[in-house]
Structure 1
Amino acid sequence: MEAQNVSDIIEKYLKEIINKNEHVEIRRAEIAQQFNVVPSQINYVIKTRFTIQNGYLVQSKRGGSGYIRIAKVNLVGDDQILKMVMTAIGDSVSEHDAFAVIQSLYADELLTRREANLILAALDKETLQLNDRKLENNLRARILVGVLNRLRFED
């Protein structure tokens, strides 16, 4: 059996709760204590695994009764969420983040496997081959925003 690191275990735990309840509200310190990690480890998991590009909306409230709320969202089903995704993409997007958006669209059944694979092929580093990472990420962002806009106006 493949060993999982603690970040993977925490991510899996939170996703299981989200899948049952549509969202999860946690207290960072409590989850850290539960998994015997420092609170910054919880921050790391949330910031890297629960991004808008991955189809999650994270809200937090600081203070004594503070919490972190993580909810799974439909990227193109809500215009506000779609605008947040496009803002997160901006003028430049890495191959990793672009692939996360397409994976989320596929998981939400907004793209078929074939459609997702075709878009991924268009966004792939080997396809773009610009030998200029900044230009490549700019072009990838324009393609991805174009795809999102097309999906948005398809209905």
Structure 2
Amino acid sequence: MRNASEIIEQYLKNILMQSPNGIIEIQRNELADQFQCVPSQINYVISTRFTLEKGYIVESKRGGGGYIRIQKVELSSQGAILDHIFRTITAQIDQTASEGLVYQLLEGGLITDREAKLIKAAVSRDVLLFKLPQRDEVRARLLKAMLISLLGK
């Protein structure tokens, strides 16, 4: 059985897919009531499952009619894809951010499952046995080179 975070994540992704403009606005308390959970559970799902690395922009407005806006970043053109890679992978990238980017490219159908597994294995902290920050620098160079080679066609 799936846990509450997975159910909430899937619900949000479904309504996001049905949105004509790829943007949804939700009220945290209403969503918490709907799923019979605490509002912090909604915050957790949004902050861990809807990150920029995974292809989402999240804005929140606090206070009386506050809301959370989630927007899916669409990588529809070659230029947009490469631009997103260069914005996400700077001089350094940690393992979590690199896995998020790979996940986003896999979800978007831009890389195969096999390519994703190979990339994740190559940039893993278990393979890159350097001390920080050198490990994140090497990971960034490797990841950028692999993705440009795969996607820069």
1:100-145 per-position Cα deviation (integer Å, ceiling 9, x unaligned): 2112101112223343333223212333233x25432332133334
Distance in 2 between the 1:66 and 1:84 partners? 33
Q: Please state how far the C-alpha of 1:49 moved relative to its aligned partner.
A: 0.7
Which residue of structure 2 lines up, in the alignment, with residue 8 of structure 1? 6
Match of 2:139 in 1: 140
2:29 alignment partner in structure 1: 29
Shift of 1:65: 2.8
Look up the equivalent residue of 1:104 and give its one-letter code: Q
Matched, 1:123 2:114: no
TM-score, normalising length: structure 2 = 0.76
Task: Supply the distance in 2 between the matched residues of 1:119 and 1:36 (Cα, whole angstroms).
Answer: 38
Deviation at 1:67, TM superposition (A): 1.5
- How far apart, CA to CA, are the structure 2 residues paired with 1:139 and 1:93? 9
1:5-154 equivalences in 2 (<5 Å): 5-21=3-19, 22-75=22-75, 77=77, 78=80, 82=84, 85-86=87-88, 90-130=90-130, 132-147=131-146, 154=152
Residue type at the aligned position of 2:49 = R
Letter in 1 for 2:3: N
The structure-2 alpha-carbon separation of the partners of 1:141 and 1:20, relative to structure 1 and needing over 3 Å to count, comes to: same
1:70 maps to a residue whose letter is I
User: Is the CA contact (8 Å cut-off) linking 1:95 and 1:124 kept in structure 2?
Assistant: yes
Gaps of 5+ in 2: none
Equivalent position amino acid for 2:33 in 1: Q
What percent identity do the matched residue pairs reach? 43
The offset of 1:58, in angstroms, is 1.0
Please list every run of 5 or more consecutive structure 1 residues that lacks an aligned counterpart in the other structure: none
> Aligned equivalents of 2:29 and 2:150: distance in 1?
39
State the superposition RMSD in angstroms: 2.9
Q: How many residues align?
A: 149
TM-score (norm 1): 0.76
Is the contact made by 1:75 and 1:85 (CA closer than 8 Å) also made in structure 2? no
> Is residue 17–residue 23 contact of structure 1 (8 Å, CA) maintained in 2?
no
After TM superposition, give the deviation of residue 95 of structure 1 in Å: 2.1
